[in-house]
Amino acid sequence: MKESLISVSKVTVALPGASLQRACKFLVVFCALHLSVVLIYYLSGANFDILQYFRRNQQSQLGYAQNYTISNGKLTAEISTIAKEELKNCPKTSPLLLGPQNIVFSIHVDLEDIRKTNPDVTEGGCYRPKNCKALQKVAIIIPFRNRDDHLKYWLHYMHPILQRQQLDYGVYVINQDGEKTFNRAKLLNIGYVESLKEYAYDCFVFSDVDLIPMDDRNTYTCFSQPRHLSAAMDKFGFGLPYNQYFGGVSALSMKQFLKINGFPNNYWGWGGEDDDIYNRIASRDMYISRPDTLTGRCRMIRHNKDNKNDPNPQRFDLLAHTRQTMNSDGINSLSYKVVSTKKFPLYTYITVDIGLPPS
Ligand code: BGC
């Protein structure tokens, strides 16, 4: 029998030719197997986000698509029979609305209780009506830092209201990483971009975490003009501090938001950014629509001033130049890094590094 000789230093090993061939074959098969396992894991991981996006968007078009699988790197959706029946549009005014409601912040609220009492809210704080097709897909965006207690009240009151309003919605809490100067409008811009990565939202509600409407007829949707939803805050004696006031809670359709190049990124600290947004809207020949002062009533949670959110001394100067700066400062110049995204049962929590104010 023919033999191969391999000599290593002084040791001489004799391998029969057939054994060497078998060993090589085994090695090749083993490597191929290993490679395919790694590839399958990689592909299923990489497809995860796409899968979620696909799942929510597909459901909204078809009703209920079920059983999504990935096999051989292909996404397959088995659509059940009910999915083929188009859901009728929800009515313009939801029949589930209750009208004025009492809002208090002295009660105890618990996340687990909120979850149990809102069983139809799905992971990440999403909901869509079961029996009709919502008229709008609404991303609710909350700029955030260190306000967990306020967020609990917001979730406690808002999930039931938004469901009664028959909205197809998702809740995005945009948390500013670190303890440096806060930038509300930049966080709102980020919420717009990040929410769109998940779902084809067409309306964006930008809400402070400490504001709750006192009447569910104040619908958190978009209108033919940018909407100011917190039109009568208790803090301002259930009125407006001035006519151009656009702070608190507002709603813009995608078209309206893009028409003003989103919001400014350069307002660091408290104040002015909402006035800048007002200026942008006015400069694009749009106007503010509002609910009447009874329906638009809302309560704010009283709290101490936030750390690192002192009044911005530059705001007056910035405000004087909105028309000149708005084309270059906005959604088209937004830059940030996502630090983490967490899907909680009642909301999606995105922590972002937004950088520092220019020195
Ligand atoms: C600020 C706004 C603020 C409003 C009401 C204005 O002076 O510029 O940002 O929302 O006061 O407090």
Domain co-membership, 195 together with 149: yes
Residue 241 alpha carbon to ligand 1 centre in Å: 9
Q: What is the pLDDT at residue 55?
A: 59
Residue 272 alpha carbon to ligand 1 centre in Å: 6
Q: Tell me the two tokens of residue 311.
A: 């009044």
Residues above pLDDT 70, as percent of the chain: 80
Average pLDDT over residues 46-63: 54
- Who contacts 292 (Cβ-Cβ below 8 Å, separation ≥6)? 231
Domain co-membership, 215 together with 293: yes
Q: What is the pLDDT at residue 48?
A: 46
Domain extent, residue 198, equals 111-353
Q: Tell me the two tokens of residue 64.
A: 């209920």
Residue 297 alpha carbon to ligand 1 centre in Å: 18
Q: What is the pLDDT at residue 20?
A: 66
Reported residue count of the chain is 359
Q: CB–CB of 277/256 below 8 Å?
A: no
**What is the helix, strand, coil percentage profile of the chain, to 5?**
35, 25, 40
Average pLDDT over residues 102-121: 97
The domain boundary, picked from 71, 86, 101, lies at 86
* Statement: residue 12 has pLDDT above 70: no
* Statement: residue 44 has pLDDT above 60: no
Whose CA is closest to atom 4 on ligand 1? 271
Residue whose entry in the numeric block shows the structure tokens 């990935």: 70
Lowest mean pLDDT among 63-72, 185-194, 241-250, 317-326: 63-72
CA distance 37 to 44: 11
Q: What is the pLDDT at residue 31?
A: 63
CA distance 246 to 221: 16
* Statement: residue 297 has pLDDT above 50: yes
Q: Does residue 208 sit within a domain?
A: yes
Q: What is the pLDDT at residue 29?
A: 75
The domain boundary, picked from 69, 86, 103, lies at 86
With 0-12 CB in 10 A as exposed, 13-18 as middle and 19+ as buried, what is 328?
exposed
Domain co-membership, 246 together with 289: yes
Q: Does residue 35 sit within a domain?
A: yes
Domain co-membership, 250 together with 288: yes
Q: Does residue 95 sit within a domain?
A: no
Residue whose entry in the numeric block shows the structure tokens 């409601």: 101
The domain boundary, picked from 86, 120, 148, lies at 86
Domain co-membership, 139 together with 67: no
Q: Does residue 292 sit within a domain?
A: yes
Helix axes 48-62, 17-46, angle to 10 degrees: 50
Q: Does residue 104 sit within a domain?
A: no
Closest atom of ligand 1 to 272 CA is 8
Q: CB–CB of 136/312 below 8 Å?
A: no
Residue whose entry in the numeric block shows the structure tokens 């919502």: 134
Whose CA is closest to atom 8 on ligand 1? 272
CA distance 342 to 338: 11
Domain co-membership, 25 together with 125: no
Higher pLDDT, 163 or 12: 163
Q: Tell me the two tokens of residue 93.
A: 């005014």
Q: What is the pLDDT at residue 11?
A: 36
Closest atom of ligand 1 to 248 CA is 10
Tens of pLDDT, residue by residue over 240-254, are 999 999 999 999 999
- pLDDT band for position 18 (50/70/90)? low
Domain co-membership, 313 together with 233: yes
Residue 176 alpha carbon to ligand 1 centre in Å: 21
- Who contacts 284 (Cβ-Cβ below 8 Å, separation ≥6)? 259, 260
Average pLDDT over residues 50-57: 60
Tens of pLDDT, residue by residue over 198-219, are 999 999 999 999 999 999 999 9
Count of CB atoms situated within 10 Å of the CB of 294: 15
Task: Tell me which amino acid residue 135 is.
Answer: L
Partner residues linked to 352 by β-bridges: 176, 338
Domain co-membership, 175 together with 304: yes
Q: Output DSSP code: residue 233.
A: E
- pLDDT band for position 307 (50/70/90)? confident
Closest atom of ligand 1 to 271 CA is 9
Q: CB–CB of 177/241 below 8 Å?
A: no
Higher pLDDT, 282 or 23: 282
- pLDDT band for position 9 (50/70/90)? very low
Pocket lined around ligand 1, Cβ cut-off 6 Å: 241, 247, 271-272, 274-275, 315
DSSP string covering 1-65: --EEEEEETTEEEEEEHHHHHHHHHHHHHHHHHHHHHHHHHHHHHHTHHHHHHHHHHHHHHHS-E
Average pLDDT over residues 258-285: 98
- pLDDT band for position 306 (50/70/90)? confident
Q: Output DSSP code: residue 352.
A: E
Q: Does residue 330 sit within a domain?
A: yes
CA distance 162 to 171: 10
Closest atom of ligand 1 to 273 CA is 9
Tens of pLDDT, residue by residue over 145-191, are 999 999 999 999 999 999 999 999 999 999 999 999 999 999 999 99
Domain co-membership, 330 together with 222: yes
- pLDDT band for position 35 (50/70/90)? confident
Domain co-membership, 262 together with 336: yes
Closest atom of ligand 1 to 315 CA is 8
Q: CB–CB of 247/230 below 8 Å?
A: yes
- pLDDT band for position 359 (50/70/90)? confident
Number of domains in the chain: 2
Q: What is the pLDDT at residue 308?
A: 84
**CATH number of domain containing 256:** 3.90.550.10
- pLDDT band for position 293 (50/70/90)? very high
Q: Does residue 106 sit within a domain?
A: no
Strands 348-353 and 168-176: parallel
Domain co-membership, 155 together with 18: no
Q: What is the pLDDT at residue 290?
A: 98
Residue 179 alpha carbon to ligand 1 centre in Å: 22
Q: Does residue 171 sit within a domain?
A: yes
Q: Tell me the two tokens of residue 337.
A: 């890094």
Domain co-membership, 38 together with 115: no
Average pLDDT over residues 117-134: 98
